[in-house]
Amino acid sequence: MRTGGPPGPPGGRAGERSGKDSEGVEEWRAVSRVLKSTGRVARTAFDDLVTTFFPADCSACGGPLLSAGSSSLCDSCLDELRAQTGVLCARCGEALDIDGVRLAGQFGGEGLLCAPCRLAPPLFERAAAWGVYEDEMRQLIHLLKYERMRSAAQPLGTLLARVIETLGDGVDGVDAMGQDAVVMAVPLFPPKERQRGYNQSVLLADVAMKQLRRSRREWRLRAAHGAIRRTRDTERQFELTPSGRRRNLRGAFTVVDPRAVAGREVLLVDDIYTTGATARECARVLRQAGAAKVFVATVSRAQREMVPAWEMRQAAETAAWDAG
């Protein structure tokens, strides 16, 4: 006889809970997601039921989850995510300071461009990101990449869908992405992907495409993640100079299915845009394989003044992950 504690899931015996807690949580959360669509009253009632019987903490801040769903992140952390503001380079999304805006304004016809994009234009048409890689955004991406928290892909992929919509709508002086582009995630080196268990960029792309099937039903995006492959491991980018990064990535990617890209527009998806070396190299090999245009969508971006601090954190996080 059970003397205390909350009741077990309907249809089960109390003595079996210890071996089935995780399954029960997932089943009840799945039920609650289905019933959410029936109205506010049912949604509130089932949120209370699930979080009472199966309490859980937010994976980012450690606070209690007050609603049931596919995300293991609380509403407060999600609300803290902020979209980028300010004047950005129309090509790569780099934040422009006042001097940069004044100088870029002298080069009309292509929108405002940062110095690197004016001096050495990338082979992609445009790169866009939703937010800056800091604070809650950094924590969520860390959970997805290094803590194997797959559920973090859900809110991040939803934000990625918004970025892709901006690429489809276009901006002044920059072409819009076509509605039937081929979607490709930046590939991981196969042994590293096996170690992690998945490619986080593929998870993000899949969530975003699912969202876009509802919000942009006229679009005909098609995933072809396997068309581009990472053929060799590379040195850690944070240990290299800008020129060293470009040399490091040279020849690291190859298009294994040219038919998937020939004459097509390609949407390249990744979690973070840091210096742009990876995006530039992938765009180079995609264009070489016959892609008509390449667009880049990422959830976050490390702006120029943040890159040194970002790389120090990345070094520690990657070293810890490799050691584990």
| Residue ranges matching CATH 3.40.50 in the chain | 122-323
State the pLDDT at residue 321: 47
Residue 248 has pLDDT above 80, yes or no: no
Residue 177 has pLDDT above 80, yes or no: yes
pTM above 0.85, yes or no: no
The stretch 283-309 carries a mean pLDDT of: 85
- The per-residue b/e assignment along 211-224, b for 16 or more CB within 10 angstroms, e otherwise, is bbeeebeebebebb
Q: Tokens for 201, please give them.
A: 């960029």
CATH 3.40.50 fits 122-323, yes or no: yes
The residues, ordered by sequence, that sit 6+ positions from 131 with a Cβ below 8 Å of its Cβ are 81, 82, 83, 84, 137, 159, 299, 300, 301
Q: What is the pLDDT of residues 95-111, one digit of tens each?
A: 887 554 555 455 544 46
State the pLDDT at residue 170: 78
Residue 260 has pLDDT above 80, yes or no: yes
Q: What is the pLDDT of residues 200-214, one digit of tens each?
A: 999 999 999 999 999
The more confidently predicted of residues 1 and 83 is: 83
The stretch 255-262 carries a mean pLDDT of: 96
Q: Could you give phi then psi for residue 177, rounded to 5 degrees?
A: -70, 140
Q: Could you give phi then psi for residue 305, rounded to 5 degrees?
A: -70, -15
Q: Could you give phi then psi for residue 254, rounded to 5 degrees?
A: -145, 145
Q: What is the pLDDT of residues 46-78, one digit of tens each?
A: 444 434 444 466 655 666 554 444 456 666 666
